[in-house]
Amino acid sequence: MFKEIELLNASQIEELRQIAASANFVDGRISNPHSKVKQNLQLHDEAAYRKSSQLLSQAMLAHEDFRNFAFPVAMLPPLMTRYTADMHYGAHADAAFLQLGSMSVRSDLSCTIFLGQPNTYEGGALRIQLGTRDLRFKGEAGTAIVYPSDRLHEVEPITKGERWVAITFIQSRIADTSRRELLYELNEVAALEGLNMAPENFTRLQLVQSNLLRRWGDRP
Protein backbone atom coordinates (compact mmCIF):
# COMPACT_ATOMS: atom_id res chain seq x y z
CA MET A 1 0.00 0.00 0.00
CA PHE A 2 1.17 3.50 -0.83
CA LYS A 3 -0.02 6.67 0.85
CA GLU A 4 -0.02 10.08 -0.80
CA ILE A 5 -0.51 13.00 1.58
CA GLU A 6 -0.65 16.78 1.27
CA LEU A 7 2.09 17.68 3.69
CA LEU A 8 3.39 21.23 3.22
CA ASN A 9 1.77 24.58 2.57
CA ALA A 10 3.14 27.33 0.32
CA SER A 11 4.89 29.22 3.13
CA GLN A 12 6.68 26.08 4.32
CA ILE A 13 7.86 25.33 0.79
CA GLU A 14 9.10 28.90 0.40
CA GLU A 15 11.03 28.64 3.68
CA LEU A 16 12.66 25.43 2.45
CA ARG A 17 13.45 27.10 -0.86
CA GLN A 18 15.26 29.91 0.95
CA ILE A 19 17.22 27.40 3.03
CA ALA A 20 18.24 25.44 -0.06
CA ALA A 21 19.19 28.54 -2.05
CA SER A 22 22.14 29.39 0.20
CA ALA A 23 23.08 25.84 1.25
CA ASN A 24 25.82 23.55 -0.02
CA PHE A 25 24.86 20.43 -2.00
CA VAL A 26 27.43 17.72 -2.77
CA ASP A 27 27.65 14.44 -4.66
CA GLY A 28 25.02 12.14 -3.13
CA ARG A 29 27.47 9.26 -3.07
CA ILE A 30 29.00 10.83 0.02
CA SER A 31 26.45 8.80 2.00
CA ASN A 32 26.75 5.69 -0.19
CA PRO A 33 30.24 5.67 -1.74
CA HIS A 34 29.98 2.13 -3.13
CA SER A 35 26.77 2.72 -5.08
CA LYS A 36 27.05 2.35 -8.84
CA VAL A 37 23.50 3.58 -9.49
CA LYS A 38 23.23 6.73 -7.37
CA GLN A 39 23.74 10.04 -9.15
CA ASN A 40 22.27 13.05 -7.39
CA LEU A 41 23.13 15.92 -5.09
CA GLN A 42 22.30 16.05 -1.41
CA LEU A 43 22.36 18.73 1.23
CA HIS A 44 25.70 18.97 3.01
CA ASP A 45 25.31 21.92 5.33
CA GLU A 46 24.83 21.29 9.03
CA ALA A 47 22.83 24.43 9.84
CA ALA A 48 20.60 24.10 6.77
CA TYR A 49 20.07 20.39 7.43
CA ARG A 50 19.10 21.01 11.02
CA LYS A 51 16.62 23.73 10.10
CA SER A 52 15.07 21.99 7.08
CA SER A 53 14.83 18.57 8.70
CA GLN A 54 13.15 20.04 11.76
CA LEU A 55 10.52 21.77 9.61
CA LEU A 56 9.86 18.61 7.60
CA SER A 57 9.83 16.26 10.60
CA GLN A 58 7.39 18.47 12.48
CA ALA A 59 5.08 18.62 9.47
CA MET A 60 5.11 14.84 9.09
CA LEU A 61 4.55 14.01 12.74
CA ALA A 62 1.76 16.61 13.00
CA HIS A 63 -0.06 15.06 10.02
CA GLU A 64 -2.78 12.76 11.34
CA ASP A 65 -3.08 10.71 8.17
CA PHE A 66 0.66 10.05 8.14
CA ARG A 67 0.63 8.94 11.78
CA ASN A 68 -2.37 6.68 11.20
CA PHE A 69 -0.78 5.05 8.15
CA ALA A 70 2.82 4.70 9.31
CA PHE A 71 2.49 4.05 13.08
CA PRO A 72 5.87 5.84 13.37
CA VAL A 73 8.14 5.06 16.28
CA ALA A 74 11.36 6.56 14.84
CA MET A 75 12.30 8.53 11.73
CA LEU A 76 15.53 9.79 10.23
CA PRO A 77 15.65 13.58 9.80
CA PRO A 78 14.49 14.26 6.22
CA LEU A 79 17.27 15.17 3.80
CA MET A 80 16.86 17.51 0.82
CA THR A 81 18.22 16.20 -2.49
CA ARG A 82 18.45 17.57 -6.03
CA TYR A 83 18.64 16.00 -9.47
CA THR A 84 19.76 18.03 -12.46
CA ALA A 85 19.87 17.04 -16.15
CA ASP A 86 21.14 13.48 -16.76
CA MET A 87 21.07 12.57 -13.07
CA HIS A 88 19.16 9.56 -11.81
CA TYR A 89 19.11 6.92 -9.07
CA GLY A 90 18.95 3.46 -10.60
CA ALA A 91 16.92 0.56 -9.22
CA HIS A 92 17.95 -0.15 -5.64
CA ALA A 93 16.78 -1.50 -2.32
CA ASP A 94 16.91 0.62 0.81
CA ALA A 95 19.11 -0.73 3.59
CA ALA A 96 17.25 -2.61 6.32
CA PHE A 97 18.85 -0.48 9.04
CA LEU A 98 20.10 3.07 8.62
CA GLN A 99 22.51 4.86 10.92
CA LEU A 100 22.80 8.58 11.55
CA GLY A 101 25.31 9.28 14.30
CA SER A 102 24.09 7.33 17.31
CA MET A 103 20.59 6.97 15.83
CA SER A 104 19.65 3.66 14.20
CA VAL A 105 16.34 3.22 12.35
CA ARG A 106 14.85 0.09 10.81
CA SER A 107 13.55 1.16 7.41
CA ASP A 108 9.99 -0.16 7.30
CA LEU A 109 8.73 2.76 5.21
CA SER A 110 10.40 5.18 2.83
CA CYS A 111 9.08 8.65 2.07
CA THR A 112 9.69 11.10 -0.76
CA ILE A 113 8.52 14.66 -0.21
CA PHE A 114 8.13 16.62 -3.44
CA LEU A 115 9.35 20.21 -3.06
CA GLY A 116 9.34 21.39 -6.67
CA GLN A 117 6.45 21.43 -9.11
CA PRO A 118 6.38 18.51 -11.58
CA ASN A 119 6.21 20.86 -14.57
CA THR A 120 9.64 22.30 -13.74
CA TYR A 121 11.46 19.13 -14.85
CA GLU A 122 11.12 16.33 -17.35
CA GLY A 123 11.72 12.69 -16.48
CA GLY A 124 12.64 12.03 -12.87
CA ALA A 125 9.61 9.99 -11.85
CA LEU A 126 9.86 7.86 -8.73
CA ARG A 127 9.30 4.34 -10.10
CA ILE A 128 8.37 1.61 -7.63
CA GLN A 129 8.23 -2.03 -8.68
CA LEU A 130 5.15 -3.86 -7.48
CA GLY A 131 5.31 -7.44 -8.71
CA THR A 132 5.11 -7.29 -12.51
CA ARG A 133 3.82 -3.72 -12.46
CA ASP A 134 5.56 -0.36 -12.16
CA LEU A 135 4.06 2.63 -10.37
CA ARG A 136 5.34 6.11 -11.14
CA PHE A 137 4.98 9.21 -9.00
CA LYS A 138 5.66 12.90 -9.75
CA GLY A 139 3.82 14.72 -7.01
CA GLU A 140 2.80 18.34 -6.72
CA ALA A 141 5.02 20.52 -4.54
CA GLY A 142 4.22 19.90 -0.88
CA THR A 143 2.90 16.37 -1.34
CA ALA A 144 4.58 13.21 -0.10
CA ILE A 145 4.44 9.55 -1.03
CA VAL A 146 5.00 6.94 1.69
CA TYR A 147 5.74 3.40 0.56
CA PRO A 148 7.20 0.14 1.89
CA SER A 149 10.99 0.14 1.97
CA ASP A 150 11.16 -3.48 0.84
CA ARG A 151 10.31 -2.62 -2.79
CA LEU A 152 12.84 -2.05 -5.54
CA HIS A 153 12.55 1.55 -6.68
CA GLU A 154 14.40 4.16 -8.70
CA VAL A 155 14.41 7.77 -9.81
CA GLU A 156 14.25 7.85 -13.58
CA PRO A 157 16.76 10.05 -15.47
CA ILE A 158 16.15 13.77 -15.57
CA THR A 159 16.10 15.03 -19.14
CA LYS A 160 15.40 18.71 -18.40
CA GLY A 161 15.14 21.00 -15.40
CA GLU A 162 15.72 20.10 -11.76
CA ARG A 163 13.99 17.65 -9.44
CA TRP A 164 13.97 18.85 -5.82
CA VAL A 165 12.74 16.53 -3.09
CA ALA A 166 13.42 15.42 0.46
CA ILE A 167 13.68 11.82 1.59
CA THR A 168 13.37 10.03 4.89
CA PHE A 169 12.93 6.56 6.36
CA ILE A 170 10.50 5.52 9.06
CA GLN A 171 10.56 2.72 11.59
CA SER A 172 6.97 1.66 12.19
CA ARG A 173 5.55 0.27 15.40
CA ILE A 174 4.27 -2.56 13.19
CA ALA A 175 7.14 -3.99 11.17
CA ASP A 176 5.11 -6.37 9.00
CA THR A 177 3.67 -4.56 5.97
CA SER A 178 0.53 -6.67 5.61
CA ARG A 179 -0.33 -6.41 9.32
CA ARG A 180 0.25 -2.65 9.27
CA GLU A 181 -2.06 -2.26 6.27
CA LEU A 182 -4.78 -4.42 7.81
CA LEU A 183 -4.74 -2.44 11.04
CA TYR A 184 -4.75 0.85 9.13
CA GLU A 185 -7.84 -0.24 7.17
CA LEU A 186 -9.58 -1.44 10.32
CA ASN A 187 -8.84 1.85 12.07
CA GLU A 188 -10.13 3.81 9.07
CA VAL A 189 -13.41 1.88 9.06
CA ALA A 190 -13.77 2.42 12.79
CA ALA A 191 -13.15 6.15 12.42
CA LEU A 192 -15.61 6.53 9.52
CA GLU A 193 -18.38 4.21 10.66
CA GLY A 194 -17.92 3.78 14.40
CA LEU A 195 -20.52 6.35 15.41
CA ASN A 196 -23.10 4.61 13.19
CA MET A 197 -22.65 1.32 15.00
CA ALA A 198 -24.47 0.10 18.07
CA PRO A 199 -22.35 1.25 21.04
CA GLU A 200 -21.74 -2.28 22.27
CA ASN A 201 -20.48 -3.36 18.84
CA PHE A 202 -18.24 -0.32 18.51
CA THR A 203 -16.73 -1.18 21.90
CA ARG A 204 -16.03 -4.70 20.66
CA LEU A 205 -14.38 -3.28 17.54
CA GLN A 206 -12.18 -1.03 19.67
CA LEU A 207 -11.14 -4.09 21.68
CA VAL A 208 -10.09 -5.86 18.48
CA GLN A 209 -8.09 -2.81 17.40
CA SER A 210 -6.26 -2.60 20.72
CA ASN A 211 -5.56 -6.33 20.91
CA LEU A 212 -4.16 -6.44 17.38
CA LEU A 213 -1.86 -3.53 18.18
CA ARG A 214 -0.72 -5.31 21.33
CA ARG A 215 -0.07 -8.52 19.40
CA TRP A 216 1.63 -7.00 16.36
CA GLY A 217 3.22 -3.80 17.62
CA ASP A 218 6.69 -3.13 18.95
CA ARG A 219 6.89 -1.80 22.45
CA PRO A 220 6.65 2.02 22.67
Count other Cβ atoms within 10 Å, centred on residue 112. 22
Q: d(Cα 125, Cα 127) in Å, to the nearest integer?
A: 6
What pLDDT shows up at residue 75?
95
DSSP for 47-91 reads HHHHHHHHHHHHHHHH-HHHHHHH-EEEEPPPEEEEE-TT-EEEE
* Backbone phi and psi for residue 211, each to the nearest 5 degrees, phi listed first: -70, -35
> Is residue 122 scored above 80 in pLDDT?
yes
Mean per-residue pLDDT, 64-70: 95
Torsion of CA 144, 150, 152, 158, to 10 degrees: 20
Give pLDDT tens digits for 123-134: 999 999 988 889
168: helix, coil or strand? strand
Q: What residues contact 205, with CB distance under 8 A and at least 6 apart?
A: 186, 190, 194, 197
Count other Cβ atoms within 10 Å, centred on residue 36. 9
Q: d(Cα 86, Cα 100) in Å, to the nearest integer?
A: 29
Q: What percent of the chain has pLDDT over 90?
A: 89
Give pLDDT tens digits for 130-164: 888 899 999 999 999 999 999 999 999 999 999 99
Burial class, 80, CB count within 10 angstroms (exposed 0-12 / middle 13-18 / buried 19+): buried
Helix H or strand E segment including 98: strand 97-100
Mean per-residue pLDDT, 109-113: 98
CA distance readout (Å), 175 to 7, 178, 191: 23, 9, 23
